[in-house]
Structure 1
Amino acid sequence: MTDPAIVTHRPSAPASVAGHSARQHDWLVGQLPAGMLADDFFVRFVRIFQAEAHTLLSHADTLPHLADPRLAPIEMVRYLSGWLAAPEVDDAYGPHAQRQMLLTVAKTLPWRGTRKALVTLLELYSGAPVTISESGGVFDQGRAPDGARWVRLEVTSTGPLAEEDFVELVRDEVPAHVGVEIVVAGRQIWPGDGSAPAAGRQER
């Protein structure tokens, strides 16, 4: 006849969690021979090592998810942002926003330096529409306009970012040879002399 105490310690069938087999609570104890399971002191002694091993195995179980911005710990999300040379995330942004920023930077990386990427990124950081005027375009050979290249950005707010941080964000994303003007709520914040924009510029 089977000892009821032995049956109590044996693990049940593993449950499925997110498509993976879940490790049972007494996964290590359950591997002991029946004679050892009958010794309560020995079982409790083995559970000490089981608890320690469980921590290490849990890290291994979650390893495939550490590179997923939707599931990774927020500290890992910030670390992954560094891989993409993304702007440093301000603490004023919540965890959901930080995850969204990483996903957006990854999506726009092939377009970095273009109008499309700049609008997408700045609207995410500022939480407001962005209006861009620029000198760029597609021209026939020999028909490109002379003079320095420029871009003018207008937003109603910089969001949680301080204005100086917003300026740095823009300057990091705009090609180095392009002059930048930044206007927030009708006030030019870059260049910092408050000068009026050059005449004749038309929004494209």
Structure 2
Amino acid sequence: MTWLLAQLPQVMARDRVLAAFVTGCQQITDSVRAQIDDLEHEIDVDLASPEMLAYLSSWLAVEVRPAATVAELTAQRRLLRAVGRVLLSRGTATGLEGLLAGLTGAQVTVHDSGGVSLPGEPDPPGGDVQIELTSLGLNDAEQVHAMIREELPVGVGYRLTVAGREA
């Protein structure tokens, strides 16, 4: 007797038509349960397949390229972990530091004067956001610039320095 059929009252379980119907339902639910049981492993960034990583990144508004090497896959996992950690602070200096550290695996320092101005008022003094990285990691400069432009508020300028050199 199957686990679902065992849940029925004995009178119903002895009915052949009902037993066959319930057994068919159990086969369907068993396959769904197996998929649900694996779901926590698919959402875990450390265990997820490369395809699931790409899907998870789309949830978080982060574009990842298909990983061709183990190092690239490791970098994608690091980036998605960083995005999850800084989700609530995206758009801030702290959030940008976390995302760039996740993208590059490097030490990141962001200097931002901060400040807010109302429409028609002059911008607060302080100038552009200064971003310092120790390395680009596996990325080219354009990928890092694209991430920065995506994360900074509209109209905010920045200066990127990598290992002491302007990038």
Q: Same fold (TM over 0.5)?
A: yes
Match status 1:174 vs 2:140: no
Matched, 1:150 2:128: yes
- Give the TM-score, by structure 1 length: 0.54
**2:166 alignment partner, SS class:** strand
Equivalences for residues 44-55 of structure 1 within 5 A: none
Q: Which of the two has greater helix per residue?
A: 2
- CA shift at 1:64, angstroms? 4.5
Structure 1: how far apart are the matches of 2:105 and 2:42?
A: 27
Residue 175 of structure 1 aligns to a residue whose secondary structure is coil
Moved more, 62-71 or 98-107: 62-71
- Identity score, percent: 38
Aligned to 2:11: none
1:133 aligns with 2:94: no
| Residue 85 of structure 1 pairs with residue 61 of structure 2 | yes
**What is the identity, as a one-letter code, of the residue corresponding to 1:67?**
I
Report 1:94-133 matches (<5 A). Answer: 94-133=72-111
How far 1:180 sits from its partner (Å)? 1.2
Unaligned runs of 5+ in 2: 1-27, 117-121
Q: Secondary structure at the match of 1:125?
A: helix
Distance 1:64 1:126, change over 3 A: closer
Q: 5+ unaligned residues in a row in structure 1: which ranges?
A: 1-52, 139-143, 190-204
Q: Which has the larger radius of gyration?
A: 1
Give distance in 1, aligned partners of 2:96 and 2:82: 11
Amino acid at match of 1:163: A
Instruction: Give the TM-score, by structure 2 length.
Output: 0.64
> Which residue of 2 is the match for residue 27 of structure 1?
none
* Aligned alpha-carbon RMSD (Å): 2.9
1:132 Cα deviation from its structure 2 partner = 2.1
Total equivalences in the alignment? 131
